[in-house]
């Protein structure tokens, strides 16, 4: 039985792999926990401000081991300061408390189970930089 991959299949393997994805999930978990602790200290659970944009935390479901939620922006119209509107991204966040991981999926990835690792890496890496940027702008994370 030959278990070594043939030469044509070696080109499929990428530099970024499943281990990298798990490291990103773990980093996102710790960045998000840092953000939540910042919100608790500031008594702003649910909504926080970054660059004059309010970001709202919307919990979808919570259990002993997981939290599923969305983060979305709430914008105020400059001409009408009393009204605001929201832009909800197509991202679903899943916080695994026991494994200490934060996974981010698009709605299409949530709907179809067989998504490619490249798209998972891209979305989760973007969220990593976004969370890190929020914490740096609030002078909380360095």
Spell out the per-residue pLDDT of the chain, length 142, in tens. Answer: 444 455 555 455 555 688 899 999 999 999 988 877 766 555 445 676 665 557 778 888 889 999 998 887 666 666 655 666 666 678 899 999 999 999 999 888 877 776 788 888 999 999 898 888 877 765 443 3
Query: Rounded distance, CA 29 to CA 128, Å?
Result: 9
Q: Would you list the domain boundaries of the chain?
A: 16-37+45-137
């Amino acid at each position: 039985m030959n278990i070594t991959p043939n030469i044509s299949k070696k080109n499929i393997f990428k530099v970024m792999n499943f281990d990298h994805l798990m490291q990103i999930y773990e980093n996102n978990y710790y960045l998000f926990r840092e953000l939540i602790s910042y919100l608790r200290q500031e008594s702003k659970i649910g909504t926080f401000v970054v660059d004059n944009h309010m970001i709202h935390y919307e919990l979808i479901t919570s259990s002993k081991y997981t939290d599923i939620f969305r983060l979305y922006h709430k914008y105020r119209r400059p001409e009408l300061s009393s009204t605001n509107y929201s832009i909800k991204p197509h991202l679903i966040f899943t916080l695994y408390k026991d494994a200490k991981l934060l996974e981010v999926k698009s709605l299409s990835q949530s709907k179809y189970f067989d998504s490619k690792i490249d798209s998972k890496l891209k979305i989760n890496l973007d969220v990593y930089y976004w969370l890190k940027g929020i914490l740096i702008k609030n002078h909380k994370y360095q």
